[in-house]
C-alpha cells in the first residue's frame, strides 16, 4: 500500500510558523465549532433534536490546534463530546446537523447520531460513546499505519474521565513497546461528567504516560497556537518513528456534561464558569492576539463570525427539512454484504 | 480428489498460512502466538515463515489487543486475534460487541471491521470454571458478529479461511479437546461457505442438530439408535450466525422430531434459539416437542465426576430420542 502522505512537505510544514491565511483558517474553524454547538444547544432546548448531545464549547482550541497539525489521511478517534474534533478534521456542518437530527443525508445515514459521527473521508474513525474506547481504535490505526507503511499518524482524543479506564493504559503500553505513531491527546476539561478530575484521578496525569516511557507534555488548551505548535512537532516526530506521545491539554467545558445538565451548582460554581468564559475563552484569546499582532483587523474577525453564523443557520434549516432514512434501511449495514 | 489426514491444530495453521501468503494485510496477534506457537500449538511454524511483524506477541491485555485489532481492521488491515481461552471473551467484550460489531452499522456503512477472533470452547479438560466455558451464544446474540463452530479439522480449515476473507467480525470457536483430532482434507485449496449446514448423517425418524464437538456426540447417539431400529439424521449448522435454517427445517419436516445439542449452557442459548425457530416454522410437522440438550446451568466444576455430569453425552441424547419415538409425553425436571 503506497503512502498517501507527502512526508517531506508535511515535515516542512510541521516546523514552520503558520502564515496569516492559516491563522484565519484556524479562527474560522473555532468560530464554526462554537456556532455549531450553540445551534445544537438551541435545537435541544426547543425540543427539535432527538436524544441529547454533549457540547464542546470552550474546548475549540484543542480540536482546531491538534487537527490543523494533521494531514487528511491522518486518523483521529473522538469522544462523546466530539463535534469539535469532527469539524476540525474537515467535516461539513450541514451533514453533521443531518446526522444529529437522524436524517439520511447525515454522515452515518442517521444511524449514529451525535455520539457516533464518523467521517472516514477525512480520517475521523468516529466519536465513541464508551469512555476511553477510542484509545484501542486509534492505537490500532497507528499499528496499521506502521505495518502497512502509510506514514499516517493517529491522534486519540479522550477526556480526563477516561483516565479511569484500563484500556487506555493497556494500549499505551503496547504503543510504547512497538513505537507506534500515535498521540494520546488528553483533554482535561476538569470534569468527568459531574465530578471533578481531582476526585477521580490520583497523581499527575502525565505520570501515567511517563511510566511507559512515553514523552508527555502539558499544554494550555485555550491557546490554539501553543496546541498547534506542539502537535505539529509531535506529529512530525511520530511520522518519523519517534512515537508514541502524550499531550495533556488543559481546557474547560463551558456547558454542562450534556445539554440537559443545566443546574450545575452542586459540582462547580458560577464564578468559576464566568472566569473561564470571560478570561479564558480560546476564541476571544486568539482574536485579541490576532488584532494585537496586527495580523488582522477586528472587522475581519467580525466578518468571519457573521459568515459562520449564516453558514450554520442555513445548515440547520437544511437538516430540519431533510428526509429521514427510508424505513427499509433499519436492516441495512448490520453486515458488510459483499465478500472480500 | 487427493486427500490427506491432518489434525485440527494443523488445519488452523495451514488455513492462516495460506491466507497470509495470499493477502499481505492479514496478521495474527495474541498471547504467545509467535515463538511459542500458542499453548495448543495451533500456530506452530507461522512465525518462522512470516516473522514477528505479522505474528505479533502481545502482553496479557485482552481488552487492549482486541481494541488495537478493531482499529487496525478499520484502517486496512485484516487481523486474526488469538484469544487463548474462550473464557477470556468477557475481557474483550466491549471491543468486540460495542466496537467491532457496531462500527459498520453506526457509520451508515462507511467503516468496517474485518477481523477474526480465533478462540475455543468446551469442558472436560479438568480446567474448572474459568477455562472451560462455551460462550458462543453470548456473541451470537449481538447483531454484526458472525459465529463459526467447526466440528472437525476439515471444517476448521475451510471455515477459518472463509472467516479471514469475510469483511465482518467473525468469532471462530474450536473445541479444545479436538485440536489433536484428525480428519481427511483435500490436498488442494478449499473454502466452506458460511450459512450452509452439513447433513452429517442421513436419517428418517428424528433430526439431531449438533454444533462443534457435539456433532461427535450426536453421531455416537445416532449409531446406538440405528442398532435399535431408529434412524437419526445429524445436522451440523457449521455457523450459527448466519444460521442455515432451511436445511434444519427441511430435515424436521421430514422426520417430525428434533433434538438440539450444544455445549453452551442450556438456558437462553443456542439450543433454545434453534428449537424456537423449529417451533415457529415447522410446528405442524412435529410429532413431539423439540428437545434441547445443553450444558448444565452451573459453573463448570473442577472435580472430574462432577464435571462429567455437566456436558451433553451420547447416552442422554439417545435416551431422549427413544422417549420421543415412543410418543409419550415426558418432562424432565
* A297/A29 Cα distance (integer angstroms): 18
Q: Which three cell numbers stand for residue A203?
A: 497523581
Q: What is the pLDDT of residues B100-122, one digit of tens each?
A: 999 999 999 999 999 999 999 99
- Residues of chain A found within 8 Å of residue B107, distances taken between Cβ atoms: 107-108, 111-112, 116, 118, 120, 126, 333
A123: left (phi over 0), alpha (psi -120 to 50) or beta: left
pLDDT at site A281 = 98
Within chain B, all domains assigned CATH 3.40.50.970 are found at: 7-186
- Residues of chain B found within 8 Å of residue A116, distances taken between Cβ atoms: 106-107
Backbone φ and ψ of B171, nearest 5° = -105, 125
Residue A173 contacts B, CB cutoff 8 Å: yes
Distance from CA of A176 to the nearest CA of B (A): 12
Cα nearest neighbour of B104 on chain A:
A333
Q: Which three cell numbers stand for residue A105?
A: 443525508
Q: For residue A112, give the nearest of B108, B112, B166 by CB distance.
A: B108
Question: Is A126 within 8 Å of B106 when comparing Cβ atoms?
Answer: yes
Residue B245's alpha-carbon distances to B88, B158, B232, B281, B283, in angstroms, are: 30, 20, 18, 10, 14
Burial state string for B3-19 with b = 16 or more CB within 10 A and e = fewer than 16: eeebbbbbbbbbbbeeb
CATH of A10-331 given 3.40.50.970, 3.10.20.740, 3.30.1540.10, 3.80.10.10: 3.40.50.970
User: Is B161 in a helix, a strand, or coil?
Assistant: helix
pLDDT at site A274 = 96
* B7/B132 Cα distance (integer angstroms): 21
Question: Is A174 within 8 Å of B68 when comparing Cβ atoms?
Answer: yes
Question: Is B107 within 8 Å of A136 when comparing Cβ atoms?
Answer: no
Distance from CA of B295 to the nearest CA of A (A): 30
Distance from CA of B205 to the nearest CA of A (A): 37
Question: Is B110 within 8 Å of A75 when comparing Cβ atoms?
Answer: no
The residues near B8 (Cβ < 8 Å, ≥ 6 apart) are B150, B152, B153, B156, B174, B178, B179, B180, B181, B182, B183
* B303/B307 Cα distance (integer angstroms): 6
The residues near A178 (Cβ < 8 Å, ≥ 6 apart) are A143, A146
B136 has catalytic annotation: no
Question: Is B71 within 8 Å of A140 when comparing Cβ atoms?
Answer: yes
B161 and B198 in contact (C-beta within 8 Å)?
Answer: no
- Catalytic-role residue among B62, B155, B273, B307: B62
Task: Name the DSSP letter for residue B283.
Answer: G
- Catalytic-role residue among B131, B141, B223, B319: B131
Residue A282 contacts B, CB cutoff 8 Å: no
Residue B80 β-bridge partners: B28, B116
Q: What is the pLDDT of residues A73-105, one digit of tens each?
A: 999 999 999 999 999 999 999 999 999 999 999
Does domain B198-326 fall under CATH 3.40.50.300? My reply is: no
Question: Is A140 within 8 Å of B108 when comparing Cβ atoms?
Answer: no
Name the A residues in 60-99 with CB < 8 Å from any B CB: 75, 77
pLDDT at site B333 = 44
Pairing of strands B206-210, B182-186: unpaired
- Residues of chain B found within 8 Å of residue A148, distances taken between Cβ atoms: 25, 76-77
Q: Which three cell numbers stand for residue A129?
A: 460513546
Residue A48 contacts B, CB cutoff 8 Å: no
* A243/B294 Cα distance (integer angstroms): 50
Q: What is the pLDDT of residues B181-239, one digit of tens each?
A: 999 999 999 999 999 999 999 999 999 999 999 999 999 999 999 999 999 999 999 99
The residues near B313 (Cβ < 8 Å, ≥ 6 apart) are B217
* A191/A261 Cα distance (integer angstroms): 13
- Residues of chain B found within 8 Å of residue A334, distances taken between Cβ atoms: 104-105, 143-144
Q: What is the pLDDT of residues B36-80, one digit of tens each?
A: 999 899 999 999 999 999 999 999 999 999 999 999 999 999 999
CATH of region B7-186: 3.40.50.970
Q: Which three cell numbers stand for residue B315?
A: 447416552
Examine the pLDDT at A2 and tell me if it is beyond 70. no
Q: For residue A147, give the nearest of B58, B77, B106 by CB distance.
A: B77
* B255/B291 Cα distance (integer angstroms): 14
Prediction ipTM score? 0.94
- In this prediction, residue B330 has a pLDDT band, given cuts at 50, 70 and 90, of low
Question: Is A111 within 8 Å of B106 when comparing Cβ atoms?
Answer: yes
Instruction: Calculate mean pLDDT across residues B111-139.
Output: 96
Within chain B, all domains assigned CATH 3.40.50.920 are found at: 198-326
Distance from CA of A169 to the nearest CA of B (A): 8
B118 has catalytic annotation: no
- Residues of chain B found within 8 Å of residue A107, distances taken between Cβ atoms: 107-108, 110
Q: Which three cell numbers stand for residue B74?
A: 478499520
Q: What is the pLDDT of residues A31-66, one digit of tens each?
A: 999 999 999 999 999 999 999 899 999 999 999 999
Question: Is A140 within 8 Å of B67 when comparing Cβ atoms?
Answer: yes
Q: For residue B104, give the nearest of A125, A130, A336 by CB distance.
A: A336
pLDDT at site B329 = 63
3-state secondary structure chain A: CCCCCCHHHHHHHHHCCCCHHHHHHHHHHHHHHHHHHHHHHHHHHCCCCCCCCCCCCCCHHHHHHHHCCCCCCCEEECCCCCHHHHHHCCCCHHHHHHHHCCCCCCCCCCCCCHHHCCEHHHCECCCCCCCCCHHHHHHHHHHHHHHHCCCCCEEEEEEHHHHHCHHHHHHHHHHHHCCCCEEEEEEECCEECCEEHHHCCCCCHHHHHHCCCCEEEEEECCCHHHHHHHHHHHHHHHHCCCCCEEEEEECCCCCCCCCCCCCCCCCCCHHHHHHHHHHCCHHHHHHHHHHHCCCCCHHHHHHHHHHHHHHHHHHHHHHHHCCCCCHHHHHCCCCCCCCC
Examine the pLDDT at B332 and tell me if it is beyond 70. no
* A95/A101 Cα distance (integer angstroms): 10
Q: For residue A144, give the nearest of B67, B77, B109 by CB distance.
A: B77
B158: left (phi over 0), alpha (psi -120 to 50) or beta: alpha
Amino acid at each position: 500500500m503506497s503512502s498517501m502522505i507527502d512526508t517531506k512537505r508535511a515535515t516542512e510544514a510541521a516546523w514552520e510558523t503558520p502564515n496569516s491565511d492559516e491563522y484565519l483558517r484556524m479562527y474560522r474553524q473555532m468560530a464554526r465549532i462554537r456556532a455549531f454547538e450553540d445551534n445544537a444547544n438551541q435545537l435541544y432546548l426547543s425540543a427539535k433534536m432527538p436524544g441529547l448531545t454533549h457540547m464542546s464549547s470552550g474546548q475549540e482550541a484543542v480540536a482546531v490546534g491538534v487537527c490543523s497539525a494533521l494531514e487528511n489521511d491522518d486518523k483521529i478517534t473522538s469522544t462523546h463530546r466530539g463535534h469539535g474534533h469532527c469539524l476540525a478534521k474537515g467535516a461539513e456542518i450541514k451533514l453533521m446537523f443531518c446526522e444529529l437530527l437522524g436524517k439520511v443525508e447525515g454522515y452515518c445515514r442517521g444511524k449514529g447520531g451525535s455520539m457516533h459521527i464518523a467521517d472516514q473521508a477525512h480520517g475521523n474513525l468516529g466519536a465513541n460513546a464508551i469512555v476511553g474506547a477510542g484509545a484501542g481504535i486509534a492505537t490500532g490505526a497507528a499499528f496499521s499505519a506502521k505495518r502497512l507503511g502509510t506514514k499516517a499518524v493517529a491522534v486519540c482524543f479522550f477526556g480526563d474521565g477516561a483516565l479511569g479506564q484500563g484500556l487506555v493504559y493497556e494500549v499505551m503500553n503496547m504503543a510504547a513497546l512497538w513505537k507506534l505513531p500515535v498521540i494520546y491527546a488528553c483533554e482535561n476539561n476538569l470534569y468527568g461528567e459531574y465530578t471533578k478530575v481531582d476526585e477521580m484521578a490520583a497523581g499527575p496525569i502525565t505520570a501515567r504516560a511517563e511510566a511507559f516511557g512515553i514523552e508527555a507534555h502539558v499544554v494550555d488548551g485555550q491557546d490554539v497556537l501553543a496546541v498547534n505548535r506542539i502537535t505539529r512537532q509531535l506529529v512530525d516526530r511520530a511520522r518519523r518513528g519517534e512515537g508514541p506521545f502524550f499531550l495533556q491539554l488543559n481546557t474547560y467545558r463551558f456547558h454542562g456534561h450534556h445539554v440537559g445538565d443545566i443546574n450545575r451548582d452542586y459540582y462547580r460554581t458560577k464564578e468559576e464558569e464566568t472566569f473561564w468564559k470571560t478570561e479564558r475563552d480560546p476564541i476571544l484569546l486568539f482574536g485579541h492576539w490576532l488584532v494585537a499582532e496586527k495580523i488582522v483587523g477586528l472587522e475581519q474577525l467580525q466578518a468571519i463570525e457573521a459568515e459562520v453564523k449564516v453558514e450554520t443557520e442555513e445548515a440547520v434549516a437544511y437538516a430540519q427539512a431533510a428526509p429521514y432514512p427510508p424505513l427499509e434501511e433499519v436492516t441495512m449495514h448490520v453486515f458488510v454484504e459483499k465478500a472480500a | 480428489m487427493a486427500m490427506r489426514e491432518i489434525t485440527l491444530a494443523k488445519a488452523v495453521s495451514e488455513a492462516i498460512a495460506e491466507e497470509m501468503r495470499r493477502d499481505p494485510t492479514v496478521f495474527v496477534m495474541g498471547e504467545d502466538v509467535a515463538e511459542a506457537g500458542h499453548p495448543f500449538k495451533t500456530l506452530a511454524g507461522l512465525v518462522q515463515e512470516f516473522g514477528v511483524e505479522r505474528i505479533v506477541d502481545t502482553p496479557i491485555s485482552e481488552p487492549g489487543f482486541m481494541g488495537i485489532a478493531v482499529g487496525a481492521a478499520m484502517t486496512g488491515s485484516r487481523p486474526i486475534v488469538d484469544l487463548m481461552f474462550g473464557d477470556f471473551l468477557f475481557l474483550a467484550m466491549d471491543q468486540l460487541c460495542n466496537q467491532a460489531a457496531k462500527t459498520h452499522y453506526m457509520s451508515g456503512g462507511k467503516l468496517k471491521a474485518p477481523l477474526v477472533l480465533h478462540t475455543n470452547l468446551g469442558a472436560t479438560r479438568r480446567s474448572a470454571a474459568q477455562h472451560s466455558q462455551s460462550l458462543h451464544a453470548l456473541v451470537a446474540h449481538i447483531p454484526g458478529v458472525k459465529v463459526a463452530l467447526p466440528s472437525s479439522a476439515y471444517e476448521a480449515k475451510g471455515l477459518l479461511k472463509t472467516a479471514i476473507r469475510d469483511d465482518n467480525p467473525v468469532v471462530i470457536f474450536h473445541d479444545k479437546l479436538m485440536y489433536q483430532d484428525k480428519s481427511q482434507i483435500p490436498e488442494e485449496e478449499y473454502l466452506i461457505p458460511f450459512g450452509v449446514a452439513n447433513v452429517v448423517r442421513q436419517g428418517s425418524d428424528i433430526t439431531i442438530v449438533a454444533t462443534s464437538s457435539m456433532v461427535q456426540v450426536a453421531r455416537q447417539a445416532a449409531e446406538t439408535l440405528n442398532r435399535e431400529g431408529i434412524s437419526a439424521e445429524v445436522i451440523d449448522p457449521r455457523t450459527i450466525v448466519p444460521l442455515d435454517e432451511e436445511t434444519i427445517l427441511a430435515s424436521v419436516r421430514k422426520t417430525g422430531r428434533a433434538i438440539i445439542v450444544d455445549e453452551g449452557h442450556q438456558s437462553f442459548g443456542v439450543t433454545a434459539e434453534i428449537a424456537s425457530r423449529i417451533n415457529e416454522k415447522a410446528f405442524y410437522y412435529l410429532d413431539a416437542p423439540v428437545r434441547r440438550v445443553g450444558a448444565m446451568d452451573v459453573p463448570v466444576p473442577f472435580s472430574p465426576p462432577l464435571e462429567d455430569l455437566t456436558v451433553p453425552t451420547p447416552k442422554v441424547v439417545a435416551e431422549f430420542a427413544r422417549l420421543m419415538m415412543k410418543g409419550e409425553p415426558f418432562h424432565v425436571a
